[in-house]
């Protein structure tokens, strides 16, 4: 049976039996057949000291709902069960010291990359969001406030922008829960429109990890859960990043 | 004048699915001083320009039409939409003036560079799309969400030609990652209609058609002229 382009590469990488990462932290929990545990992935993803700007922090454009829910979750991070994920300008900054396997790594001399969901830097105009991750239950919550640049139907966020926010939440959740890297599929059912400038809460859950794939579900609703904006299921491909050769 | 526009919109949506005409005139022939983004600019690669020229040739016999693309919706269209479909509680004057098409909110070359061509007879929308550095996901590749956006926009325009419609479902199968800054062809077509439902199929391929990057299906629902959205 023909395998897709993605999966073919993933199998090649897997069978090369890449050496275990020598920098793994103690007290590991093997989440999957892949090398890194969620703990070590999170530790690397959330550097304690960094000069990089974190875009996932409150600013003047955040509506009161978003601010208060953010505070609630921040309280929950004190117990260590929830983690606030930083959000840098580019995914390259999130995976410093790591690179894609050689079949996929694209050499580039360009500098001005930006992750799509941080493309509009004007406060409040584009994607305002923050993701909280729960490592042991492999779930996350994204607080999302779409700005006027994300408009589709006048006064409401367009479907593509919610799809993008769901894909991004899946992406970070999949990576930390099991080195999920590439989107394989997204299936979104839109129910109601999100008014521009209001808060949408995206609850994401990893349902299972099987055959190098992470299966996730997400529901986007209003804070009081009275309005469901959309439901989505997504599948991501596991692919282990390689260490950059040390200089 | 507003009331007559609203009345015109009402009859458009109420009419059975017929070939696009009035809806397009509403959007395309509005006298605006704004820039048309669906035309070549210095950030367009050679590939994109060549494709653009090929499709412009196809427009010569009238079977294809290039779509103009503006950063902001004409105010009259906005007001009509809100009057008919939106609960007054949700109408915010100041937000209407700030809003702009997301896909046209980037500096030249950094975001979505694209132009759409429509074939009425085939009910087909083709989007020539070049991704910029600010659409990145996995380093070196286009973000899955940016791909979802261009699919939603293109399938949406394809559905819109048949009447004001909203996305109900979007199913995307990502086959191969799209390299950042490359040019791809997004090809959408109405595959079926059932009452107010519009089924649109979509594929994203390389310029030489040798690589299939993405496949998608979308379901749009035409708005019920008697119901509010909120």
> Between chains, do B145 and A163 touch, taking CB under 8 Å as contact?
yes
Per residue in B41-73, pLDDT (tens digit) is: 999 999 999 999 999 999 999 999 999 988 876
B152, B208, B224, B226: the catalytic one is B152
Instruction: Name the residue among B149, B174, B179 with its Cβ closest to that of A182.
Output: B174
Q: What is the pLDDT of residue A49?
A: 80
What is the per-residue pLDDT across A82-138, written as a single tens digit (0 to 9) for each?
A: 999 999 998 888 888 888 888 888 766 677 889 999 999 899 999 999 999 999 999
- Which of A115, A154, A187 is the closest to B136 by Cβ? A115
Query: Which residues of chain A neighbour B174 with C-beta distances below 8 Å?
Result: 6, 182-186
B94 lies within 8 A of chain A by CB = no
Helices (H) and strands (E) in chain B, counts: 6, 7
Q: Which of A45-54, A107-116, B16-25, B141-150 has the lowest mean pLDDT?
A: B16-25
| Total number of domains in chain A | 1
Decide if pLDDT at A1 tops 50: no
Q: DSSP 3-state assignment of B215?
A: strand
Residue from B218, B184, B203, B187 nearest B125 by CA: B187
Residue B165: inside a domain: yes
Picking from A140, A66, A155, A150, the residue whose alpha carbon sits closest to that of residue B102 is A150
118-137 in B: which are within 8 Å (CB) of A? 133-137
CB neighbour list of residue A128: distance below 8 Å, 6 or more residues apart: A59, A61, A62, A66, A144, A145, A146, A147
| Residues 71-90 in B contacting A (C-alpha not used; CB under 8 Å) | 73, 77-78, 81-82, 85-86, 90
Indicate which of A164, A181, A216, A236 best probes the interface with B, i.e. most B CBs within 10 Å of its own CB. A164
pLDDT given at position A5: 63
pLDDT at position B83:
63
User: Considering only CB atoms, which chain B residues are within 8 Å of A195?
Assistant: 90, 230
Among A5, A164, A181, select the one facing B146 at the smallest CB separation: A164
A183: nearest CB among B82, B166, B174: B174
Helices B75-85 and B2-14: crossing angle, nearest 10°?
70
Q: Choose the mutation target among B103, B174, B176, B212 for the interface with A, i.e. most A CBs under 10 Å.
A: B174
Residue A19 included in any domain: no
Q: Residue B164's closest chain A neighbor by CA?
A: A153
| CATH number, position B48 | 3.10.129.10
> What is the DSSP-derived secondary structure letter of residue B139?
T
Report CB contact under 8 Å: B135, A119: yes
ipTM of the complex: 0.85
pTM of the full predicted structure?
0.83
Selected catalytic residue, list A65, A167, A203, A224: A167
DSSP type of residue B35: -
Q: Do A116 and B148 touch (CB under 8 A)?
A: no
Q: Per-residue DSSP letters for chain A?
A: -PPPHHHHHHHHHHHT-PPPPTT--SS----SSSS--HHHHHHHHS-SS--SPP--S--TT--HHHHHHHHHHHHHHTTTSSEEPP--SSHHHHTTTEE--TTT----------BGGG---STTTSEEEEEEEETTTTEEEEEEEE-GGGBSSTTBB-HHHHHHHHHHHHHHHHHHHH-EEEEEEEEEEE-SPPBTTS-EEEEEEEEEEETTEEEEEEEEE-TTSSSEEEEEEEEEEE-PPEEPPP-
pLDDT of residue A200: 98
What pLDDT score does B88 carry? Answer: 58
Is B7 part of a structural domain of the chain?
Answer: no
Write down the pLDDT at residue B79: 61
* pLDDT, tens only, B109-140: 999 999 999 999 999 999 999 999 999 999 99
Q: How confident is the model over A213-240, as a mean pLDDT?
A: 97
Residue B153 in any domain: the answer is: yes
Residue A30 lies in a domain: no
Residue B226 annotated as catalytic: no
Q: Is residue B26 part of a domain?
A: no
- Mutant choice from B145, B160, B198 vs A, greatest count of A C-beta within 10 A: B145
Residue B100 has pLDDT above 80, yes or no: no
Three-state DSSP class for B160?
helix
pLDDT digits (tens, 9 = 90+) for A63-75: 999 999 999 999 9
Question: Do B170 and A159 lie within an 8 Å CB cutoff?
Answer: yes
Whether B8 maps to a domain, the answer reads no
- Overall average pLDDT of the B144-172 stretch: 93
Give me the pLDDT at residue B223, please: 86
Domain of A96, in residue numbers: 38-100+113-243
Which residues form the domain of B104? 35-222
Which domain CATH number covers A134? 3.10.129.10
In chain B, how many domains are there? 1
**pLDDT-derived band at A37, boundaries 50, 70, 90:** confident
User: Which pLDDT score is estimated for B78?
Assistant: 60
CB within 8 Å: B145 and A100: no
- In-domain check, residue B56: yes
């Amino acid at each position: 049976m023909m395998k897709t382009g993605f999966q073919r590469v993933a199998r090649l990488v897997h069978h090369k039996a890449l050496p275990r990462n020598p920098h793994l932290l103690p007290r590991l929990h093997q989440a999957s057949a892949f090398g890194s545990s969620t703990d070590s992935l999170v530790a690397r993803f959330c550097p304690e000291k960094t000069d990089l700007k974190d875009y996932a922090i409150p600013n003047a454009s955040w509506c009161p709902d978003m601010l208060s829910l953010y505070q609630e979750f921040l309280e929950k991070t004190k117990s260590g069960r929830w983690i606030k994920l930083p959000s840098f300008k580019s995914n390259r900054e999130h995976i410093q010291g790591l690179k894609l396997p050689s079949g996929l790594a694209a050499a580039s001399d360009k500098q001005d990359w930006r992750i799509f969901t941080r493309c509009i830097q004007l406060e409040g105009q584009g994607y305002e969001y923050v993701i909280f991750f729960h490592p042991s239950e492999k779930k996350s919550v994204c607080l999302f406030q779409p700005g006027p640049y994300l408009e589709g139907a006048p006064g409401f966020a367009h479907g593509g922008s919610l799809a993008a926010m769901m894909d991004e939440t899946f992406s970070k959740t999949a990576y930390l829960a099991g080195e999920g890297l590439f989107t394989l599929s997204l299936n979104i059912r839109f129910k109601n429109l999100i008014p521009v400038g209001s808060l949408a809460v995206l609850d994401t859950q990893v349902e299972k990890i099987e055959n190098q794939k992470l299966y996730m579900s997400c529901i986007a609703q209003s804070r009081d859960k009275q309005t469901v904006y959309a439901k989505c299921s997504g599948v991501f491909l596991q692919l282990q990043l390689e260490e950059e050769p040390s200089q | 004048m507003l009331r007559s526009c609203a009345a015109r919109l009402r009859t458009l949506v109420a009419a059975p699915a017929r070939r696009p005409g009035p809806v397009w005139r509403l959007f395309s022939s509005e006298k605006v001083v704004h820039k048309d983004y669906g035309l070549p600019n210095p950030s367009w690669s050679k590939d994109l320009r060549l494709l653009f020229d090929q499709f412009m040739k196809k427009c010569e016999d009238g079977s294809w039409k290039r779509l103009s693309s503006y950063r902001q919706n004409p105010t009259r269209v906005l007001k009509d939409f809100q009057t008919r479909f939106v609960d007054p509680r949700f109408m915010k004057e100041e937000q209407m003036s700030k809003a702009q098409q997301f896909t046209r909110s980037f500096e030249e070359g950094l975001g979505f560079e694209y132009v759409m061509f429509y074939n009425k007879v085939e009910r087909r929308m083709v989007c020539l799309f070049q991704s910029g550095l600010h659409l990145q996901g996995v380093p070196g590749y286009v973000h899955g969400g940016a791909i979802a956006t261009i699919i939603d926009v293109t399938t949406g325009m394809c559905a819109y030609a048949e009447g004001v419609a909203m996305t109900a479902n979007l199913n995307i199968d990502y086959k191969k990652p799209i390299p950042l800054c490359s040019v791809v062809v997004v090809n959408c077509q109405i595959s079926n209609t059932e009452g107010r439902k519009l089924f649109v199929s979509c594929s994203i391929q390389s310029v030489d058609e040798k690589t299939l990057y993405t496949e998608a299906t979308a379901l749009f629902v035409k708005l019920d002229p008697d119901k509010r959205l909120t």
